[in-house]
Structure formats: C-alpha cells, structure tokens
Structure 1
Amino acid sequence: MHSIAPWRRLLAEFLGTALLVTAVVGSGIMASTLSPNDIGLQLLENSVATAFALGALILTFGPVSGAHFNPVVSAADWFLGRRTRTGLTGTDLTGYLAAQTAGAIAGSILANLMFDLAAVTFSTKDRAAGHLWLGEVVATAGLLLLIFALARSGRAAVAPAAVGAYIGAAYWFTSSTSFANPAVTIGRAFTDTFAGIAPASVPWFVVAQLGGLLVGVGLLLALYPSVGTTAGEVVVEKTADEPLSFCVEESP
C-alpha cells in the first residue's frame, strides 16, 4: 500500500509534531511576554498561532505521512482500517507513535532554547482535575469525528483549515484548552512556561485522551458504519502531479 519509504514518513511525523509543539510552546512564551497581565489575551494569541501553524504543517507534511502528529489519530486509523487493510499497519503504528512522541519532546526543547531558557525545564503547572479530563475526552473525540468524517465524505480539501479551526476553537470551548494529543501532552511537560503541564498531570490527561479515542471511534462506527473503508485516505501518498487527498493533525 505504501509507496513512500517508511523512514520518510517517520521523519515527516517527527518534524511535524516537533514544529507543532514548538509553535504551541513558543507562542505561549511570546504571549506571556507581550501580554503579561492579561491571561485571556495570552490564550487568544496562543490559540491563533497554534491554529495557523497546524494548518500550515498539515499542508507541508500531509503528502508524505498524512500529517497525523497525534497518537490517537494514528491509533484510530489503524483500528478502523484493520479489517479492510487500509490505513496504517501495526508496524506503521508503532513507528508513528515513537516518532510523534520523540518529536513532541524535541519541539519543547527547541522552543525553550529559542527563547533563551534551559533546554529542559519540567513544568510545575498542575492540571489534575476531573473537569479537565472531561474536556480532554470531548476535545479528542470531536477531533476524530472531524478528521474521519471529512475523509468519509470526500471533503479532504478543507482538512488543513478545518482541523486548524477546530483546535483553535477547542482552546476556548473545552476546560482543558484542548491538548487532545498524548504525544503533545508528554512534550509540553518539558517546558515550565505558559503551555506547560506538570509531569504528574500527564498520565491522567493521556488516559482521558484514550477515553476520547474510544468515544470517537464508537461514534464514527455508529454514524459511518463503512468508515473503515476510507481509513487509507487518512494516510496521504500522492505524487507531485496528483491532487492532495487528505491530511490530518493533532492537536496541542
């Protein structure tokens, strides 16, 4: 199925996830510097920068790897497509998860260094609360519904804008500010800045995101019973003279 070399797809996932986390963390640091006394404005600056960066990164890396940048997207792609042998294989999934997690950590380190901070500064920002975990379930399930509904309905051309818009909006309508991504959650523990999350809070955020994965996959199967047949559309492999089929994120 895959015409693009595995190492190229893994490199795209690593770079895309790294740059996504760099955008999230870097814009958070800049927002804190420019608007030190206005948390609402800081969140606005952070969310707008993240949404635009995400759309651009999907366009950049989508033709190589599908621009998942997110373990729950990759896991859903593997699960939904396994019966019809579309989407990611088990080997692909393992590689994607490793590349995304390593990329997220590298992205935080890069952002720290760009703003003259220590390479690794573990966050002290506690985010352990039930309502935050519920926000992560909602954000993650909604992201999966959007991505796979677009693939199923043939509206792939709007994916970069739609996914970026969803994540930007979810910053505001979820209590957790929509991490919706286990790799990004781990990466953001490596920076004690606006976008950070304390290492002790990471496991429960990841559990909530996996809960969102289960909810999202369940809803997809209920709404689109044949969604597995289009799982391959979430892994973009196009030559330069072919139109972009589909590319998907992650989320901060």
Structure 2
Amino acid sequence: MLVAVVVGSGIAAQQLSPNDVGLQLLQNSTATVFGLTVLIVIFGPISGAHFNPAVSLADWFLGRRMGGGLSLKELGTCVASQTLGAIGGSVLANAMFDVGTSISSKERVTPGHLLGEIVATAGLVLLIFSLAATKRSSLAAPAVGAYIGAAYWFTSSTSFANPAVTAGRIFSDTFAGIAPGSAPAFVAAQLIGAAAGVGLLVLLFPTDSRAAQDVVVPQTADKRA
C-alpha cells in the first residue's frame, strides 16, 4: 500500500499537471505524507509498521547489541515481504491508472542523489529509533510522515530512503519510477545511511539507545514485525 500511494499519486500528479514538475512533486509528496501516516497507524499494532528493510536491519542490529529486536529469521521474512509487497503495490497503482506495468527508464544516479539518499535514510533511522529510545514511539506516525514529506523537498533524490520502495518503483515507468540500473546504487546509499543513523543514535543517546528495539511503533500483541 505504501508503494501504491507513492506510485499512484505520482501517476495522478503527472496526468493532472503534465507541464509542472514542481506541482507534480508537491502532489506526490502530500499524498505520501498522509498515506504513510495512516499506514503506520493501521499496521503499527500488527507488525510494528516495518515497511522498510533499512529500518528492519537497524532493528536487528540494535537487538543483537541489547538482546532483543528482530531475529535473523524475522529479518529475512520482513525484507522478503517488504520487497514483494512493494512490487505488488507498484503493479496495483499501474493497474488503477490503466498505464500498464513496465520497467522504468528513469535514471537517477548522480553523486548528489546518492548523498541525498544517505542523508534521507540516516535521518529517518535516527528519528524512528530516537523516538523508541526516549519512549515516544506513539509519535512515530505523524513524525515519520512529516519527515518523509520534508525530505521529498530538502534532498535531491526526493527521499526514497527505503530499499523495498526502491525495488517497487522499478516496475512503473512513470513520474515515481527508477531505472533498474539506478536501483543498486540507491540501495547501497540507503544502507550506508541506515548505518550512519544508528551511529548517530548511539552517539546522541548513549544510554537511552539501549531501549531502541521492537520499532517502528509499539505492538499490541507480543510479537514482532
């Protein structure tokens, strides 16, 4: 559903404002802010709102340090589910707008774009885990939505910040797409950003970071994403 929101709103923006890329980005980012916030509210109690392999990987890493978080098996299940779900969301969005599923030809790799992905992902990971570390995970839905909305505009890459979303967006040759050749570099930058975010967490919250596990948001059942 997250990728359906991103790709679907991108297609709608492209159709509604074909000659104004800035307006397209505004429409796309606004829909993503609201859609992501709602999805975190819906799926947080079920899975901890693990939509992002970079976040799940950080959760697993912090859990190894603290004796909690995702297990390696759960991490693998999460990443596979996130990636398949992202591809399915892209296919769904294409079908809703009758554009057909096709491989994107939109090349995005430049040094600036990759730096943007590092910054965007580092900030996202720091935000999510700092909320968990300071027992404010109830704010995750609006905070994460707001951050991604802002990062659409202050990063040159428009803040993919999610390896699964990157994979899903390959399958739509539209405003929100990314060419297969650009995706590996984006994913690598996102993983570097995730590592930087974890490093900043430990630096800024040296004591509280011990509690930063089982995120994105608290679950009502005793289970992990």
Tell me if TM exceeds 0.5: yes
Q: Measure, in 1, the Cα distance between the counterparts of 2:31 and 2:65.
A: 38
Q: Measure, in 2, the Cα distance between the counterparts of 1:60 and 1:235.
A: 11
Deviations 1:192-231 (CA, angstroms, capped at 9, x unpaired) = 0000000000000001001101111111111112313331
1:26 aligned onto 2:8 = yes
- What's the secondary structure of 2:116's corresponding residue? helix
**Partner of residue 59 from structure 1, selected from 32, 41, 46:** 41
Q: What is residue 159 of structure 1 aligned with on the other side? A: 140
Q: What is residue 194 of structure 1 aligned with on the other side? A: 175
Deviation at 1:235, TM superposition (A): 5.9
Q: What aligned pairs does 1:27-46 form with structure 2 within 5 A after superposition?
A: 27-46=9-28
- What's the secondary structure of 1:193's corresponding residue? coil
| Sequence identity (%) | 62
**Partner of residue 99 from structure 1, selected from 67, 72, 81:** 81
1:84 aligned onto 2:83 = no
Deviations 1:84-124 (CA, angstroms, capped at 9, x unpaired) = 22211111101000000000000000000111122x21001
**Partner of residue 142 from structure 1, selected from 123, 130, 140:** 123
Q: Measure, in 2, the Cα distance between the counterparts of 1:36 and 1:202.
A: 25
- What's the secondary structure of 2:65's corresponding residue? coil
**Partner of residue 69 from structure 1, selected from 51, 60, 85:** 51
Count how many residue pairs are aligned between Structure 1 and Structure 2.
221
Q: Measure, in 2, the Cα distance between the counterparts of 1:39 and 1:201.
A: 21
CA contact (8 A) 1:123 1:189 kept: yes
The RMSD of aligned alpha carbons is 1.3
Q: What is residue 149 of structure 2 aligned with on the other side? A: 168
Q: Which moved more, 1:205-214 or 1:152-161?
A: 152-161
Deviation at 1:147, TM superposition (A): 0.4
Task: Name the amino acid aligned to 2:203.
Answer: A
CA contact (8 A) 1:87 1:235 kept: no
Q: Which moved more, 1:204-213 or 1:150-159?
A: 150-159
- What's the secondary structure of 1:199's corresponding residue? coil
- What's the secondary structure of 1:151's corresponding residue? helix
Q: Which 4+ runs in 1 deviate beyond 2 A?
A: 232-237
Task: Name the amino acid aligned to 1:218.
Answer: G
CA contact (8 A) 1:87 1:234 kept: no
Unaligned runs of 5+ in 1: 1-18, 240-246, 248-252
Task: Name the amino acid aligned to 2:121.
Answer: T
Q: What is residue 214 of structure 1 aligned with on the other side? A: 195
Deviations 1:16-72 (CA, angstroms, capped at 9, x unpaired) = xxx000000000000011111111110000000000000000000000101020000
1:231 aligned onto 2:213 = yes
Q: Which moved more, 1:229-238 or 1:35-44?
A: 229-238
Q: What is residue 158 of structure 2 aligned with on the other side? A: 177
State TM-score, norm by structure 1.
Answer: 0.85
**Partner of residue 114 from structure 1, selected from 88, 92, 96:** 96
- What's the secondary structure of 1:113's corresponding residue? helix
State TM-score, norm by structure 2.
Answer: 0.95
- Compared CA separation, residues 222 and 132, structure 1 to 2 (3 A): same
Deviations 1:177-203 (CA, angstroms, capped at 9, x unpaired) = 000000000100000000000000000
Deviations 1:111-166 (CA, angstroms, capped at 9, x unpaired) = 00111122x21001010111100000000000011001111112222210010000
Q: Measure, in 2, the Cα distance between the counterparts of 1:235 and 1:92.
A: 17
Deviation at 1:83, TM superposition (A): 2.8
- Compared CA separation, residues 182 and 32, structure 1 to 2 (3 A): same
